[in-house]
Amino acid sequence: MHGAPALGEAYTHFPDVNPAAPKGGTLTLSVLGGFDSLNPLIVRGTPAKGVRDHVYESLMIRGADEPFTLYGLIAESVDLPADRRSITFHLRPEAHFSDGAPVRPADVIFSWQLLKDHGRPNTRTYYAKVVRAVEVAPNAVRFEFNDEGDREIPLIMGLMPILPEHLTDPDTFEQTTLTPIVGSGPYRIGELRPGNRITFERDPNYWGRDMPFNVGRNNFDRITYEYFRDETALFEAFNKGLVDLVVDEDPTRWAQGYGNESAGDIVRETLPLGTPRPLSALVFNTRRPPFDDIRVRAALTELFDAEWINKTLYAGLFGRTEGYFDGSELSSIGRKAEASERELLGDRLASLPPAIVEGTFHQPATDGTGRNRQGQREATALLSEAGYRISDGIMRNASGEALAFEILVATREQERLALTYARMLRRAGIELSVRSVDATQFEQRRQTYDFDMLPFVWTQSLSPGNEQAFYWSSEAANADGTRNYPGIRDPDIDRLIDEIVAARDRVRFVASVRALDRLLVAGLYVIPLYHIPGQWIARWTRIERPEMIPLNGLTIDRLWYGKATR
């Protein structure tokens, strides 16, 4: 999208794989919670992990080290005119589903229509930008786009999952199902214990096993996801060797190490990441009072003593997250708005805090002693401005109603953080109730915005685009199942998302993302938490990885079974 692909047409494999990786063995991974569906493409239900990655395939595949580059998967070639008003995919004649049926243009068109009408809210929005889909040859399909000028939509269509028309019923597609799903990918669904375990088995007749995009990838004969109700049981299973690899985010556990590490059976690695740091945050639901008042949100942010929490709960190993694209060139933090950004911000520029515009803004900080007196003073002043006063030790509004709200959590770690924050707020006369629910109920309430506050992590890439509308747009705020959990409704944010999607060069693109970052930070929609300095991976030594780690970090499709066989 911005420049030429790094690999030519004659590439033999991706650069971040081991082309000589042996095939075989079982990889066992862990998931917290449970599942009640095998369909990851709809809002309803909690889908099992791995179906989208292992069973379904798209027309194209991402280059892991290239933010805006796709390579052919089911499609062996594409025709993309300079105006990007259409794209034609030429399908590989050898591509077929696991039941042996060929992947036809009719399946591609069917998948588009199905997901446009019955898919998740973001896919309905994306695919509605296609005004016409037509089979132009026995093995070719063309998508024609509307007049919005969305330069990313050809890439989005390339990443659309392809479903078999002959096995998919549109009338029941939005219902949860535990019937094994058929796709064209390298694995089929094998053993299934609803809510507890799912195993994917290699398809011995997988059509793409010798293709360049698959060399060094998908190396295991079986991939099993074991589900655990809490992190204690999960990591006990890992220490016993019942789980092969974990991505850890607990600094205390990471600092202490793991059971068999001293014997050389477990290796811990901090792997580099070239992408923006994930935004882990406490989310204000601005659809509800009192969080519809930015002064209340600002006060509650002042009362969050991030430095003391990091030192006390997390051994000081975390870095504080400041914005929405930290650690990348897309971030506005520490950068003065240049002329291109100022032009994009337009009239909104005058109303932004000077520190946001000048690049000097930082989240409230303390000395880490636990005596957040400055934060207390700032919060009291903000709440006073919003009409709150202390009465009998309780912060109340002009009607006498106490400033109180609930935070929804699903894990012990989330609960520990929430209880610590609740004690901080209590000193200011604010009552924070901590509601702990299971993973399924947490997901259901999150999807319908049935919460006051909750923790969430947004992951970003170096190629943000249409998904930003799914995260932050006014339209997403009004639709269940999006990731606009704060309920952001801001026409300038909507406009900047459109600018990101329409950007024709990298300079304009970066300026648009930074401008968006400034508005999101200024809106105080979340209390940013922390990030780890890279990707914390712990694995048993029988699981091996390639030397090169791409920008997006290590992914399981690059691993292989090494020293032992099971």
Residue 565, pLDDT > 50, answer no
Q: What is the CATH number of domain 57-167?
A: 3.90.76.10
The full 3-state SS of 345-396, as one line of letters, equals HHHHHHHCCHHHHHCCCCCCCCCCCCCCHHHHHHHHHHHHHCCCEEECCEEE
Going through 415-548 in order, the beta strands assigned E by DSSP cover 431-436, 453-458, 526-528, 530-531, 535-540, 543-544
Residue 208, pLDDT > 50, answer yes
Q: What is the CATH number of domain 279-503+514-531?
A: 3.10.105.10
Residue 271, pLDDT > 60, answer yes
Confidence tier at 259 by pLDDT (50, 70, 90):
confident
Residue 11, pLDDT > 60, answer yes
Mean pLDDT, residues 184-211 taken together: 97
Average pLDDT, the chain: 95
State the pLDDT at residue 9. Answer: 87
DSSP code per residue over 209-257: TTSGGGTT-S--SEEEEEEESSHHHHHHHHHTTSS-EEE---HHHHHH-
Name the residue among 11, 21, 17, 108 with its Cα closest to residue 59.
Answer: 108
Q: Between residues 113 and 463, which one has the greater pLDDT?
A: 113
Residue carrying the six token digits 């920008």: 551
Residue 499, pLDDT > 50, answer yes
State the pLDDT at residue 566. Answer: 42
State the pLDDT at residue 2. Answer: 56
Share of the chain above pLDDT 70, in %: 99
Segments of the chain assigned to CATH 3.10.105.10 = 279-503+514-531
Residue carrying the six token digits 């870095």: 319
Other C-beta atoms lying within 10 Å of the C-beta of residue 213: 18
Residue 263, pLDDT > 80, answer no
Q: What is the pLDDT of residues 52-98, one digit of tens each?
A: 999 999 999 998 888 778 999 999 999 999 999 999 999 999 999 99
State the pLDDT at residue 251. Answer: 86
Confidence tier at 563 by pLDDT (50, 70, 90):
low
Residue 383, pLDDT > 60, answer yes
Confidence tier at 3 by pLDDT (50, 70, 90):
low
Mean pLDDT, residues 152-180 taken together: 96
Long-range contacts of 388-392 (CB under 8 A, 24+ apart): 388/296, 390/429
Task: Mean pLDDT check: name the lowest of 48-52, 426-430, 455-459, 464-468.
Answer: 464-468
Residue 319, pLDDT > 70, answer yes
Helices (H), 129-186: 153-158
Task: Mean pLDDT check: name the lowest of 54-58, 121-125, 350-354, 374-378.
Answer: 121-125
Mean pLDDT, residues 169-181 taken together: 96
Segments of the chain assigned to CATH 3.90.76.10 = 57-167
Q: CA–CA separation, 40 vs 465, rounded Å?
A: 21
Residue 1, pLDDT > 90, answer no
Confidence tier at 533 by pLDDT (50, 70, 90):
confident
